Chain A
Amino acid sequence: MNIPGAVAMPINQKTPLTIVTGFLGSGKTTLLGNILQAPRFAGTSVIINEYGEAGLDHRLIRRVEERTTLLAGGCVCCNRREDLINELKELLDAYQRGEHPLDRVILETTGLADPAPILFSVLTHPLLVHHFYIDMVVACLDAVNGELHLKQSPEAVKQIVCADLVIITKTDIGDHDTVTRLRRRIQEINPAAAVETSAQGRVGADIFEPAQRPAGQRSGRRLEQLRTAGLDQDGHTTAISSISIQFDQPLDWLAFGIWLSMLLHQHGENMFRVKGLVDVGEDGPIVLNGVQHIIHPPQHLPDWREYEEHNSQIVFIMREISPHQVLDSLRAFQHLIGAHPEIREINLNPLGRA
């Protein structure tokens, strides 16, 4: 239906919020310091959760103490970060008073922060959800100490799992083999993430630009077949596993929503990540992106890109749930969902020592 006077507008007029996370000392602030010098970030506000040594003095920067409100009956991911809510509200107020532009907000978390409550806070807040959207989660991983962090800190693993883009930093001082190993490790933990490298905190300033990164927002990168045989199962088991499931036919979005909401109701805490493109039999796919109980508002893309196969492919990253259980469940629901699931790839023990 055509409406007189209606103007085509971009898919939303909300302000993008980019979350930059990464373990302690992984070079988040250095990276931001470099990126923010680009003129295109002139209208960007930065919220920093901790004091770092590297200064970002030429920006509108807000430093906030972490303050979390525990919601009754919620799991860890469903905490509300009051500090961030207040900061975002203040930024919004100042913008609406015309005090500064608000093209983008970049939020740098503490090294130990779990990104899930941040997503939850923004996506469930009745005011903020109408003014901000989570553009992407960027995780920094140190080329020198990254392997150690992943091995010893569940926080670091969680950050990688939640990320849409992982940047391996300090490649100038880390050796080439380690970087290659890390890259493989990251893709095993989170097959849906794009991986970039950066030396001395330098990356192209365009990595935050949606147009420049087909792999980021769309997760449209066709997953390469990962070598599961190369994983060393030497007893260092973590319960994290990931599975990529492909469907032979278009899914029934209504039925799939029922199944997924049911799964998240019971296992939301252990479903670290759900991400993929869902073919619903229309011109373009629906982008599905979720972290634990939180599902981003699904977005319907206008068309398929040339390099994308026209089928649904969804990555699940989970803890203490066997990928086969998920597959069995999808098979039992296939009459409702309308498509038969197949395993595209499976990683039972992505943290096994190499």
Chain B
Amino acid sequence: MCVLCGELVMNVHWTDQPIHDKEYRPTAVVGESQRDRIRNRLCRADFVNNIVAFYGLSFRDWQGSKYVLSDRKGQQKIINDLGDLWPAAQQMSGRRIDPLDPALLSYLSAPECCRHEHTGSRCHAD
């Protein structure tokens, strides 16, 4: 359950599943991997933002617990995970979100689209 809004989150999306290391432990320590978690969320939001910009949308992390997807007309939607994101983006933009779409691919291949490559500040979790 989300402690902020009381929403019952029944499934953890596979991209949010913890990737266990070899020292898998039965106990979790509060706050132990917060830094990694927040960094991953911010990086993910940044990646997604690059992609959904093609559809006129923007995507950001909200309080480390949700994401917010918004368009330029002021519509906003709360997003839990990547499983939620793409259907919502499709509905909000009215366009088919397809990673095989040549138009999207040529947009992404254009050098001005990817800030990461320009600044050299690749978002790596390590």
Cα distance, A1 to B34, chains bound together (Å): 14
A-B contacts at CB below 8 angstroms, number? 128
8 A–B contacts from the bound complex (CB under 8 Å): A11-B24, A252-B125, A254-B44, A258-B48, A261-B13, A281-B126, A297-B17, A303-B22
Q: Does A212 contact B (CB under 8 A)?
A: no
Do A11 and B11 touch across chains, with their CB atoms under 8 A apart? no
Please give, as numbers and ranges, the residues of chain A lying within 8 Å of B104 by CB-CB distance. Answer: 332
Please give, as numbers and ranges, the residues of chain B lying within 8 Å of A6 by CB-CB distance. Answer: 25-27
Chain B window 71-106, contacts with chain A (Cβ cutoff 8 Å), 1 for yes, 0 for no: 000000000001101110010000011111010111
Q: How large is the interface on B (under 10, 10 to 19, 20 to 34, 35 or more residues)?
A: 35 or more
Please give, as numbers and ranges, the residues of chain A lying within 8 Å of B29 by CB-CB distance. Answer: 1, 3
Cα distance, A329 to B116, chains bound together (Å): 18
Cα distance, A258 to B109, chains bound together (Å): 17
Known A6-B27, A254-B123, A259-B99; 12 more pairs at CB < 8 Å: A126-B10, A129-B11, A254-B125, A258-B47, A258-B48, A258-B82, A261-B14, A262-B86, A265-B87, A265-B90, A266-B98, A283-B22
Q: Which residue of A is nearest B14, CB measured? A: A295
A58-66, A150-158, A215-223, A333-341 - interface stretch: A333-341
Q: Does A43 contact B (CB under 8 A)?
A: no
Known contacts A9-B26, A252-B123, A258-B48; decide if A298 and B19 are in contact (CB<8 Å): yes
Q: Does B35 contact A (CB under 8 A)?
A: no
Closest 3 CB pairs of A and B: A302-B22, A265-B86, A332-B105
Do A257 and B114 touch across chains, with their CB atoms under 8 A apart? no
A26-34, A236-244, A320-328 - interface stretch: A320-328
Q: Give me the interface of A with B, judged by CB distance under 8 Å.
A: 1, 3, 6-12, 124, 126, 129, 252-255, 257-259, 261-263, 265-267, 281-284, 286, 295-300, 302-303, 321, 325-326, 328-329, 331-333, 335-336, 338
Cα distance, A126 to B25, chains bound together (Å): 22
Cα distance, A295 to B82, chains bound together (Å): 13
